[in-house]
Amino acid sequence: MPSPHASVDWESLSLRFAFGALTAVAVVFLVGPSLIVLLTSLTASQSLRFPPDGLSLRWYYALLTADQMQQAAWTSLVVAFWTTAVASILGTAAALAISRSQGAWARVFDLLFMSPLLLPALAFGFAALVFIYQLGLRPSIAFLILGHVVVCVPFVLRTTLAALTQLDPSLIDASASLGAGGAMTFRRVTLPLIGRGVGAGAFLAFMASFDNVPVSLFLADERTEVLPIHLWQQIETNLDVRTAAVSGVIVIVTLVLMLAAERFAGLTRQMR
Amino acid sequence: MRSDEFKLVLPLTALFVAFFVAPLCVLLALSLSVDTDMRALTVSHYVKFFTDSFNYSILWSTIVLGVKATILCLVFGYPIAWICARARPRWQTVLLFLVILPIMTSVVVRTFSWIVILGRQGILNQIVLGLGLTSEPLRLLFTELGVVIVLAQVQMPLMVLPILTVMSKTDPNLADASRALGAGEWRTLWKVTLPLSLPGVIAGCILTYSASVTAFVTQTLIGGARLVYMPLHIYQQAVGANNWPFAAAISVIFMVAVLVIVYLLNLLTRITPSDAEV
């Protein structure tokens, strides 16, 4: 924006400089750690020193024989997949109902479904474990998935509701007046228009489930050990470079998935 | 709510009642029970918590930790949102992408990379020692300062996004008018932009705060075993000591403490007039 005055506007410059500098520091602060872990994982030595002593992919090769880690990663993917599927379907249905109704009920439901985001997830994880035992049951992968759905549904709900508020209601009316039923209108009109919102929410839910520790800490057992818990224990006990290699894989996969989500669902626009 | 709307919301409501509301009710009941079989009522677990200074000092340090991390997020997050709201669409997307990137990357991985950075032989100490700023390596790992720094990085997007949402909905003419009437940039920021973006700031603070106090992975890995915060306390009592009723009572106290602060922050939104007096 050009300054309205001909002379140098020091005040405007000082504000821009101060905020620009803070942003620059923050960006380094935000992106730096991921880059550093990526470079550290390429080390040729046994230590986690930075800069690495020589470059090699030996720790990535070591992952090929890390059975426990692979098993945990697979469990995490399965749990995240089912969590995303269930959360997307239930969350989209609930968002449709909430956006259509204007009454106090809509606000009650909205508050209820968003509350897992504010409540300490660890307390909920423990509550779920206590509940399962009180029912006389034992933790299983089904309960683990249900627990993840509860804490991941807010992401789907939020992006879908945002997409629905931008939906022109006259389009729905037009579809209905042309003789399309509710299901047909949803499939042919509503879903294509809110698809990107649902997609972005599903992506966020998947990442949140794959990354979840507080709920898995209580609901996962030896048979259903998930990757974040496995890594957390690895880092707590013996810090080895394989952990850095897994971290490197996760950083790269996350980046690729995010670029795809940006391309197909306009991720940054949906999150605003 | 009409019946067809009710049908749509029913499945998720059923799940939440069965697997969210019910477990929390059972947790509350257990916290008021003598033992895990829930035979007799007692408030002894709550009395134990509040009469032992060790317990409530953990609660207090957790709350303080959340406040510090939130303030650090605000100091950096507000300028990011401000720059982002003024940037050209292309740069806006790039900047937002960089802001969202860390929150998408697994929290265990992000915390792990900070261990490499903050450790005694970490990058930060190599730089500080290399420049001769100190003769001793800085102790950052296993300190509260270290936990605050890492939490700020981990939770930053939660602060930036709500502020940006409010800022991009605000009429840019208001700031222009302020400048046209002779107010400088800093005065415009203080008197116009900041009050108008306050709902976003409060929403950001609520999200950052509630995420920071419950950030188990960051707290345990960066804080170590000696810095105990509420989530680790709950975990130790539940899994380590196997004292479920007491762990339930701590969980209830923790949830109430978080919700009270969220509620108080939320009250600020109502006090702030939506059309700020300029």
- Contact status of B100 with chain A (Cβ, < 8 Å): yes
Structural domain includes residue A91: yes
| A55 occurs within a structural domain | no
Task: Looking at the complex, report in whole angstroms how far the Cα of residue B276 sits from the nearest Cα belonging to chain A.
Answer: 22
Chain B partners within 8 Å of A22 (Cβ): 75-76, 79-80
A130 contacts B27? CB cut-off 8 A? yes
Alpha helices per DSSP H over B105-235: 107-118, 123-130, 144-169, 172-180, 185-188, 194-213, 216-223, 230-235
B231: chain A residues, CB-CB within 8 Å: 120, 122, 214
The CATH superfamily assigned to B49-271 is: MetI-like (1.10.3720.10)
B68-110: per-residue pLDDT in tens? 999 999 999 999 998 888 888 888 888 888 888 888 888 888 8
The verdict on A50 touching B (C-beta cutoff 8 Å) is: yes
Q: Are A133 and B6 in contact (CB under 8 A)?
A: no
Structure tokens at B99: 């802001």
Q: Does residue B250 contact residue B230 with C-beta atoms inside 8 Å?
A: yes
Residue A149 in domain: yes
- Chain A contact for B91 (CB, 8 A cutoff): no
Report the candidate in B127, B16, B55, B175 with the shortest Cα–Cα distance to residue A91: B16
CB B38 within 8 A of CB B250: no
Size of interface A-B (CB pairs under 8 A): 276
Residues 6 or more apart whose CB falls under 8 angstroms from that of B73 comprise B152, B155, B156, B158, B159, B204, B208
Q: Tell me phi and psi for residue A265, to 5 degrees.
A: -120, 5
Q: Is residue A261 part of a domain?
A: yes
* A219 in a structural domain: yes
Cβ A268–B97 below 8 Å, yes or no?
Answer: yes
The answer as to whether A26 is a domain residue is no
In this structure, is residue A166 part of a structural domain? yes
pLDDT in tens, chain A (272 residues): 454 545 667 777 888 888 888 888 888 888 888 888 888 888 777 777 777 777 778 788 778 877 888 899 999 999 999 999 999 999 999 998 888 877 788 888 988 999 998 899 999 999 999 999 999 898 889 999 999 999 999 999 988 998 888 887 788 788 888 877 778 888 788 888 888 889 889 999 999 999 999 999 999 887 888 999 998 888 888 777 788 888 889 999 999 998 988 888 777 777 66
CATH assignment at residue A240: 1.10.3720.10
CB B100 within 8 Å of CB A271: yes
Min Cα distance A56 → chain B (Å) is 18
Rounded Cα gap, residues B36 and B49, in angstroms: 18
Does A21 map to a domain? no
> For chain B, what are the domain ranges?
49-271
CA distances from residue A258 to A200, A246, B234 in whole angstroms, order as listed: 10, 18, 34
Is A94:A157 a contact under the CB 8 Å cutoff? Answer: yes
* Domain count along chain A: 1
CA distance B216 to B221: 8
Residue range(s) defining the domain that contains residue A84? 66-271
pLDDT tens for chain B, 278 residues long, are 667 777 888 999 999 999 999 999 999 999 998 887 777 788 888 988 988 889 989 999 999 999 999 999 999 999 999 888 888 888 888 888 888 888 888 888 888 888 888 877 778 888 888 888 877 888 888 889 999 999 998 888 889 988 988 888 877 777 777 777 777 777 777 777 888 888 889 999 999 999 999 999 999 989 888 899 999 999 999 998 889 999 999 999 999 999 999 899 888 877 655 544 43
Beta bridge partners of B41: B33
Question: Are A105 and B217 an interchain contact pair (Cβ–Cβ within 8 Å)?
Answer: no
